[in-house]
Amino acid sequence: MTWNWQQPYWPNFTYDSKALELHERQFLLQSGELVGACKHVGPDDQEMLKIELISDEAVKTSEIEGEILNRASVQSSVRHELGLGIEQPGVKPAERGISQMMADLFRNYATLLADKTLCDWHAMLLGSDTSIQVIGGYRTHIDPMQVVSGPDHKRKVHFEAPPSTRVPNEMKRFIAWFNSTAPGGKNPLPALTRAGIAHLYFVCIHPFEDGNGRIGRAIAEKSLAQNLGQPSLIALAYTIERKRKDYYTALERNNKETEITDWLCYFGDTIIEAQNTTLKRVDFYIAKARFYETFRGRFNKRQQKVVARIFREGIDGFKGGLSAENYISITKTSRATATRDLQDLVEKGAFTKTGTLRHTRYQLNISADRSR
Protein backbone atom coordinates (compact mmCIF):
# COMPACT_ATOMS: atom_id res chain seq x y z
CA MET A 1 0.00 0.00 0.00
CA THR A 2 1.30 3.45 -0.95
CA TRP A 3 0.23 6.33 1.31
CA ASN A 4 -0.07 10.02 0.40
CA TRP A 5 3.19 10.97 2.15
CA GLN A 6 4.98 8.49 -0.13
CA GLN A 7 3.69 10.18 -3.28
CA PRO A 8 6.22 12.27 -5.27
CA TYR A 9 4.19 15.48 -4.92
CA TRP A 10 3.62 15.24 -1.15
CA PRO A 11 2.64 17.52 0.54
CA ASN A 12 1.46 19.57 -2.43
CA PHE A 13 -2.24 18.77 -2.23
CA THR A 14 -4.38 19.43 -5.29
CA TYR A 15 -8.13 20.04 -5.46
CA ASP A 16 -10.86 21.61 -7.56
CA SER A 17 -11.38 25.06 -6.03
CA LYS A 18 -14.60 25.56 -7.99
CA ALA A 19 -16.14 22.59 -6.17
CA LEU A 20 -15.67 24.51 -2.90
CA GLU A 21 -16.90 27.96 -3.94
CA LEU A 22 -20.46 27.40 -2.69
CA HIS A 23 -19.19 26.01 0.62
CA GLU A 24 -16.92 29.01 1.14
CA ARG A 25 -19.70 31.53 0.41
CA GLN A 26 -22.16 29.73 2.66
CA PHE A 27 -19.63 29.60 5.49
CA LEU A 28 -19.04 33.35 5.38
CA LEU A 29 -22.77 34.08 5.13
CA GLN A 30 -23.61 31.88 8.11
CA SER A 31 -20.69 33.31 10.09
CA GLY A 32 -22.35 36.73 9.73
CA GLU A 33 -25.69 35.25 10.79
CA LEU A 34 -24.07 33.73 13.86
CA VAL A 35 -22.49 37.03 14.89
CA GLY A 36 -25.85 38.75 14.44
CA ALA A 37 -27.70 36.10 16.43
CA CYS A 38 -25.24 36.31 19.33
CA LYS A 39 -26.00 40.04 19.68
CA HIS A 40 -29.49 39.07 20.83
CA VAL A 41 -28.08 37.03 23.72
CA GLY A 42 -27.61 38.94 26.99
CA PRO A 43 -24.09 39.33 28.46
CA ASP A 44 -24.59 36.71 31.19
CA ASP A 45 -26.11 34.25 28.74
CA GLN A 46 -23.28 34.93 26.28
CA GLU A 47 -20.76 33.79 28.90
CA MET A 48 -22.80 30.66 29.64
CA LEU A 49 -23.25 29.92 25.94
CA LYS A 50 -19.51 30.27 25.40
CA ILE A 51 -18.77 27.89 28.28
CA GLU A 52 -21.28 25.33 27.03
CA LEU A 53 -20.05 25.41 23.43
CA ILE A 54 -16.40 25.02 24.45
CA SER A 55 -17.27 22.29 26.96
CA ASP A 56 -19.33 20.33 24.47
CA GLU A 57 -16.50 20.47 21.93
CA ALA A 58 -14.10 19.21 24.61
CA VAL A 59 -16.40 16.32 25.52
CA LYS A 60 -17.23 15.39 21.92
CA THR A 61 -13.68 15.57 20.53
CA SER A 62 -12.71 13.11 23.29
CA GLU A 63 -15.74 10.92 22.60
CA ILE A 64 -14.70 10.60 18.94
CA GLU A 65 -11.58 8.83 20.25
CA GLY A 66 -13.65 6.60 22.55
CA GLU A 67 -12.93 8.56 25.75
CA ILE A 68 -16.08 9.36 27.74
CA LEU A 69 -15.74 12.37 30.04
CA ASN A 70 -18.06 13.88 32.65
CA ARG A 71 -19.66 16.93 31.03
CA ALA A 72 -20.23 18.78 34.31
CA SER A 73 -16.59 18.31 35.33
CA VAL A 74 -15.35 19.52 31.95
CA GLN A 75 -17.65 22.54 32.11
CA SER A 76 -16.39 23.38 35.60
CA SER A 77 -12.79 23.09 34.41
CA VAL A 78 -13.39 25.22 31.30
CA ARG A 79 -15.04 27.88 33.43
CA HIS A 80 -12.02 27.86 35.74
CA GLU A 81 -9.52 28.01 32.86
CA LEU A 82 -11.27 31.09 31.48
CA GLY A 83 -11.21 32.79 34.89
CA LEU A 84 -14.97 32.56 35.39
CA GLY A 85 -15.19 30.34 38.45
CA ILE A 86 -13.58 27.82 40.78
CA GLU A 87 -13.04 24.28 39.50
CA GLN A 88 -15.27 21.80 41.32
CA PRO A 89 -13.65 18.93 43.28
CA GLY A 90 -13.14 15.58 41.59
CA VAL A 91 -12.18 16.75 38.09
CA LYS A 92 -10.07 14.03 36.48
CA PRO A 93 -6.75 14.74 34.72
CA ALA A 94 -8.21 13.90 31.29
CA GLU A 95 -11.10 16.31 31.87
CA ARG A 96 -8.80 19.07 33.06
CA GLY A 97 -6.36 18.47 30.21
CA ILE A 98 -8.86 18.75 27.37
CA SER A 99 -10.36 21.82 29.09
CA GLN A 100 -6.95 23.46 29.26
CA MET A 101 -6.34 22.79 25.57
CA MET A 102 -9.74 24.11 24.47
CA ALA A 103 -9.39 27.23 26.64
CA ASP A 104 -5.92 27.88 25.23
CA LEU A 105 -7.31 27.48 21.72
CA PHE A 106 -10.07 29.98 22.52
CA ARG A 107 -7.72 32.56 24.04
CA ASN A 108 -4.83 32.28 21.58
CA TYR A 109 -6.48 31.45 18.26
CA ALA A 110 -4.80 34.42 16.55
CA THR A 111 -1.20 33.52 17.42
CA LEU A 112 1.07 31.83 14.92
CA LEU A 113 1.22 28.05 15.11
CA ALA A 114 4.45 26.69 16.56
CA ASP A 115 5.95 23.40 17.74
CA LYS A 116 5.54 24.68 21.29
CA THR A 117 1.81 25.25 20.82
CA LEU A 118 1.27 21.68 19.66
CA CYS A 119 3.57 20.12 22.24
CA ASP A 120 1.92 22.11 25.03
CA TRP A 121 -1.49 20.86 23.87
CA HIS A 122 -0.16 17.31 23.86
CA ALA A 123 1.16 17.69 27.41
CA MET A 124 -2.21 19.05 28.52
CA LEU A 125 -4.10 16.17 26.93
CA LEU A 126 -1.85 13.28 27.92
CA GLY A 127 0.27 14.50 30.82
CA SER A 128 -1.10 11.80 33.12
CA ASP A 129 -0.94 8.91 30.63
CA THR A 130 1.83 6.57 31.78
CA SER A 131 1.63 4.50 28.58
CA ILE A 132 3.02 7.35 26.47
CA GLN A 133 6.80 7.36 25.99
CA VAL A 134 7.06 11.00 24.91
CA ILE A 135 4.66 13.50 26.46
CA GLY A 136 4.77 17.05 25.13
CA GLY A 137 6.99 16.07 22.21
CA TYR A 138 6.87 14.34 18.86
CA ARG A 139 7.10 10.56 18.68
CA THR A 140 10.55 8.98 18.51
CA HIS A 141 9.89 5.22 18.56
CA ILE A 142 11.14 3.10 15.67
CA ASP A 143 7.96 1.03 15.33
CA PRO A 144 5.60 1.97 12.49
CA MET A 145 2.83 4.38 13.54
CA GLN A 146 -0.27 2.65 12.24
CA VAL A 147 -4.02 3.16 12.54
CA VAL A 148 -5.44 -0.36 12.79
CA SER A 149 -8.61 -2.24 13.66
CA GLY A 150 -9.62 -5.82 14.24
CA PRO A 151 -8.03 -8.66 16.26
CA ASP A 152 -4.30 -9.39 16.05
CA HIS A 153 -4.79 -12.39 13.78
CA LYS A 154 -6.90 -10.39 11.33
CA ARG A 155 -5.64 -6.84 11.72
CA LYS A 156 -6.59 -4.22 9.15
CA VAL A 157 -4.19 -1.31 8.60
CA HIS A 158 -6.17 1.83 7.73
CA PHE A 159 -3.12 4.08 7.58
CA GLU A 160 0.59 4.10 8.26
CA ALA A 161 2.23 7.46 9.04
CA PRO A 162 5.74 8.60 8.09
CA PRO A 163 8.50 7.09 10.27
CA SER A 164 9.43 9.01 13.41
CA THR A 165 12.73 10.11 11.90
CA ARG A 166 10.82 12.17 9.33
CA VAL A 167 8.46 13.84 11.79
CA PRO A 168 10.58 16.91 12.80
CA ASN A 169 11.08 17.99 9.18
CA GLU A 170 7.48 17.16 8.23
CA MET A 171 6.20 19.29 11.12
CA LYS A 172 8.55 22.15 10.27
CA ARG A 173 7.09 22.15 6.77
CA PHE A 174 3.51 21.81 8.05
CA ILE A 175 3.81 24.71 10.49
CA ALA A 176 5.38 26.93 7.82
CA TRP A 177 2.51 26.06 5.46
CA PHE A 178 -0.13 26.75 8.11
CA ASN A 179 1.23 30.17 8.99
CA SER A 180 1.84 31.20 5.39
CA THR A 181 -1.78 30.33 4.40
CA ALA A 182 -3.32 32.40 7.20
CA PRO A 183 -4.98 35.75 6.46
CA GLY A 184 -2.11 38.19 5.99
CA GLY A 185 0.30 35.35 5.17
CA LYS A 186 2.22 34.98 1.94
CA ASN A 187 -0.22 32.43 0.49
CA PRO A 188 -3.63 32.96 2.14
CA LEU A 189 -6.32 30.37 1.49
CA PRO A 190 -10.12 30.51 1.86
CA ALA A 191 -11.42 29.48 5.28
CA LEU A 192 -12.85 26.01 4.64
CA THR A 193 -10.12 25.04 2.20
CA ARG A 194 -7.38 25.91 4.66
CA ALA A 195 -9.07 24.22 7.65
CA GLY A 196 -9.75 21.06 5.65
CA ILE A 197 -6.21 20.76 4.32
CA ALA A 198 -4.74 21.56 7.75
CA HIS A 199 -6.67 18.78 9.45
CA LEU A 200 -5.90 16.11 6.86
CA TYR A 201 -2.26 17.19 6.48
CA PHE A 202 -1.65 17.07 10.23
CA VAL A 203 -3.30 13.72 10.92
CA CYS A 204 -1.43 12.17 7.99
CA ILE A 205 1.87 13.17 9.59
CA HIS A 206 0.51 11.79 12.90
CA PRO A 207 3.37 13.38 14.84
CA PHE A 208 2.40 12.26 18.35
CA GLU A 209 2.08 8.83 19.91
CA ASP A 210 -1.53 9.63 20.79
CA GLY A 211 -3.89 12.60 20.71
CA ASN A 212 -3.45 13.36 16.99
CA GLY A 213 -7.16 13.42 16.24
CA ARG A 214 -8.02 15.82 19.05
CA ILE A 215 -5.10 18.12 18.23
CA GLY A 216 -5.90 17.90 14.52
CA ARG A 217 -9.48 19.06 15.12
CA ALA A 218 -8.19 21.87 17.33
CA ILE A 219 -5.91 22.98 14.48
CA ALA A 220 -8.91 23.08 12.14
CA GLU A 221 -10.82 25.24 14.63
CA LYS A 222 -7.79 27.53 15.06
CA SER A 223 -7.63 27.89 11.29
CA LEU A 224 -11.33 28.81 11.03
CA ALA A 225 -11.02 31.30 13.89
CA GLN A 226 -8.04 33.00 12.23
CA ASN A 227 -9.95 33.36 8.98
CA LEU A 228 -12.96 34.81 10.83
CA GLY A 229 -10.89 37.05 13.11
CA GLN A 230 -12.59 35.65 16.23
CA PRO A 231 -13.17 32.28 17.93
CA SER A 232 -15.45 30.27 15.67
CA LEU A 233 -17.24 28.40 18.49
CA ILE A 234 -18.81 26.10 15.92
CA ALA A 235 -19.88 22.60 16.92
CA LEU A 236 -17.27 20.81 14.77
CA ALA A 237 -16.45 17.87 17.06
CA TYR A 238 -20.12 17.70 18.13
CA THR A 239 -21.09 17.26 14.46
CA ILE A 240 -18.28 14.82 13.60
CA GLU A 241 -19.10 12.62 16.61
CA ARG A 242 -22.70 12.22 15.46
CA LYS A 243 -21.45 10.72 12.18
CA ARG A 244 -18.15 9.36 13.39
CA LYS A 245 -18.08 6.47 10.91
CA ASP A 246 -18.40 8.92 7.98
CA TYR A 247 -15.48 10.92 9.37
CA TYR A 248 -13.12 7.95 9.57
CA THR A 249 -14.28 6.70 6.17
CA ALA A 250 -13.52 10.10 4.60
CA LEU A 251 -10.06 10.18 6.19
CA GLU A 252 -9.26 6.67 4.96
CA ARG A 253 -10.56 7.46 1.49
CA ASN A 254 -8.17 10.41 1.23
CA ASN A 255 -4.94 9.16 2.81
CA LYS A 256 -3.42 7.57 -0.29
CA GLU A 257 -3.32 10.38 -2.86
CA THR A 258 -2.59 14.12 -2.78
CA GLU A 259 -5.73 15.00 -4.79
CA ILE A 260 -8.23 15.79 -2.03
CA THR A 261 -11.31 17.45 -3.55
CA ASP A 262 -13.47 14.68 -2.10
CA TRP A 263 -12.10 15.28 1.40
CA LEU A 264 -12.51 19.05 1.22
CA CYS A 265 -16.13 18.73 0.07
CA TYR A 266 -16.84 16.33 2.94
CA PHE A 267 -15.12 18.59 5.46
CA GLY A 268 -16.85 21.67 4.06
CA ASP A 269 -20.24 20.00 4.41
CA THR A 270 -19.37 19.04 7.99
CA ILE A 271 -18.38 22.59 8.92
CA ILE A 272 -21.56 24.04 7.39
CA GLU A 273 -23.60 21.51 9.37
CA ALA A 274 -21.64 22.42 12.50
CA GLN A 275 -22.44 26.10 11.92
CA ASN A 276 -26.12 25.28 11.55
CA THR A 277 -26.02 23.40 14.84
CA THR A 278 -24.42 26.36 16.59
CA LEU A 279 -27.02 28.72 15.12
CA LYS A 280 -29.75 26.46 16.49
CA ARG A 281 -28.09 26.51 19.90
CA VAL A 282 -27.91 30.30 19.90
CA ASP A 283 -31.60 30.45 18.96
CA PHE A 284 -32.27 27.96 21.75
CA TYR A 285 -30.48 30.21 24.24
CA ILE A 286 -32.51 33.20 23.16
CA ALA A 287 -35.71 31.18 23.50
CA LYS A 288 -34.55 29.93 26.91
CA ALA A 289 -34.01 33.48 28.16
CA ARG A 290 -37.46 34.51 26.92
CA PHE A 291 -39.04 31.43 28.49
CA TYR A 292 -37.61 32.24 31.92
CA GLU A 293 -38.61 35.88 31.51
CA THR A 294 -42.18 34.84 30.72
CA PHE A 295 -42.55 32.36 33.58
CA ARG A 296 -40.39 33.95 36.26
CA GLY A 297 -41.89 33.26 39.71
CA ARG A 298 -44.66 31.03 38.35
CA PHE A 299 -43.18 27.58 39.03
CA ASN A 300 -42.91 25.64 42.27
CA LYS A 301 -39.54 24.12 43.24
CA ARG A 302 -40.34 20.76 41.65
CA GLN A 303 -41.34 22.40 38.39
CA GLN A 304 -38.23 24.61 38.44
CA LYS A 305 -36.03 21.53 38.86
CA VAL A 306 -37.64 19.68 35.95
CA VAL A 307 -37.54 22.70 33.62
CA ALA A 308 -33.85 23.23 34.39
CA ARG A 309 -33.18 19.53 33.80
CA ILE A 310 -34.87 19.62 30.38
CA PHE A 311 -32.93 22.73 29.36
CA ARG A 312 -29.69 20.92 30.22
CA GLU A 313 -30.54 18.40 27.51
CA GLY A 314 -30.01 21.18 24.96
CA ILE A 315 -31.60 21.55 21.55
CA ASP A 316 -32.49 17.84 21.29
CA GLY A 317 -34.37 17.75 24.61
CA PHE A 318 -35.54 14.50 26.16
CA LYS A 319 -35.63 11.77 23.54
CA GLY A 320 -39.30 11.15 22.84
CA GLY A 321 -40.39 13.87 25.27
CA LEU A 322 -40.79 14.05 29.04
CA SER A 323 -42.99 11.37 30.63
CA ALA A 324 -44.72 11.38 34.01
CA GLU A 325 -42.19 8.73 35.05
CA ASN A 326 -39.33 11.10 34.16
CA TYR A 327 -40.96 13.82 36.27
CA ILE A 328 -41.35 11.48 39.25
CA SER A 329 -37.74 10.29 38.93
CA ILE A 330 -36.33 13.82 38.79
CA THR A 331 -38.43 15.29 41.62
CA LYS A 332 -38.85 12.19 43.83
CA THR A 333 -42.51 13.06 44.23
CA SER A 334 -45.75 11.04 44.09
CA ARG A 335 -47.62 10.26 40.87
CA ALA A 336 -50.58 12.36 42.00
CA THR A 337 -48.35 15.39 42.63
CA ALA A 338 -46.54 14.86 39.34
CA THR A 339 -49.86 14.75 37.49
CA ARG A 340 -50.99 18.03 39.10
CA ASP A 341 -47.65 19.73 38.40
CA LEU A 342 -47.60 18.65 34.77
CA GLN A 343 -51.19 19.72 34.17
CA ASP A 344 -50.40 23.10 35.75
CA LEU A 345 -47.40 23.53 33.44
CA VAL A 346 -49.59 22.78 30.41
CA GLU A 347 -52.31 25.21 31.56
CA LYS A 348 -49.73 27.95 32.05
CA GLY A 349 -48.43 27.37 28.53
CA ALA A 350 -44.96 26.33 29.69
CA PHE A 351 -45.37 22.76 28.40
CA THR A 352 -47.12 21.25 25.42
CA LYS A 353 -48.72 17.82 25.69
CA THR A 354 -48.99 14.99 23.16
CA GLY A 355 -50.38 11.46 23.35
CA THR A 356 -52.70 9.90 25.92
CA LEU A 357 -52.49 7.64 28.95
CA ARG A 358 -49.07 5.94 29.26
CA HIS A 359 -48.02 7.45 25.92
CA THR A 360 -48.47 11.02 27.17
CA ARG A 361 -45.37 13.14 26.65
CA TYR A 362 -44.49 16.75 27.46
CA GLN A 363 -42.23 19.25 25.72
CA LEU A 364 -41.02 22.70 26.71
CA ASN A 365 -43.00 25.37 24.90
CA ILE A 366 -40.01 27.56 24.20
CA SER A 367 -42.02 29.53 21.66
CA ALA A 368 -44.41 30.53 24.45
CA ASP A 369 -45.87 34.01 24.07
CA ARG A 370 -44.25 36.50 26.41
CA SER A 371 -47.57 38.16 27.09
CA ARG A 372 -49.05 35.14 28.89
pLDDT, residue 193, reads: 98
Q: What is the pLDDT along the chain (372 residues), one digit of tens a residue?
A: 899 999 999 999 999 999 999 999 999 999 999 888 887 777 777 888 889 899 999 999 999 999 999 999 999 999 999 999 899 999 999 999 999 999 999 999 999 999 999 999 999 999 999 999 999 999 999 999 999 988 888 889 999 999 999 999 999 999 999 999 999 999 999 999 999 999 999 999 999 999 999 999 999 999 999 999 999 889 999 999 999 999 999 999 999 999 999 999 999 999 999 999 999 888 888 888 889 999 999 999 999 999 999 988 877 777 789 999 999 999 999 999 999 999 999 999 999 999 998 899 999 998 744 343
DSSP output for 143-156: S--EEEES-GGG-E
Q: What is the pLDDT of residue 371?
A: 40
Q: What's the predicted TM-score (pTM) here?
A: 0.89
Residue 304 makes CB contacts below 8 A (sequence gap 6+) with: none
* Domain ranges for the chain: 4-283, 298-364
| Residue 370 confidence (pLDDT) | 39
**4-283 CATH:** 1.10.3290.10
The DSSP annotation for 183-220 comes to TTSSS---HHHHHHHHHHHHHHH--SSS-HHHHHHHHH
Do the Cβ atoms of 333 and 297 come closer than 8 Å? Answer: no
**What pLDDT is stored for residue 1 in this prediction?**
82
Question: What's the CA gap between 357 and 369, in Å, rounded?
Answer: 28
Contacts of 292 (CB under 8 A, 6+ apart): none
pLDDT for 368 equals: 47
Are β-strands 351-354 and 156-160 bridged in parallel, bridged antiparallel, or unpaired?
A: unpaired
Handedness of CA 35, 47, 321, 301 (dihedral sign): negative
Nearest to 361 by CA among 315, 289, 312, 310: 310
- By CB neighbour count within 10 A (0-12 exposed, 13-18 middle, 19+ buried), where does 60 fall? buried
With CA atoms as reference, report the closest residue to 65 among 199, 268, 271, 237. 237
CB 4 within 8 A of CB 249: no
Determine the CATH number of domain 298-364. Answer: 1.10.10.10
Task: Supply the pLDDT for residue 372.
Answer: 37
Inter-residue contact 190 to 20 (CB < 8 Å): yes
Distance of alpha carbon 211 from alpha carbon 200, whole angstroms: 14
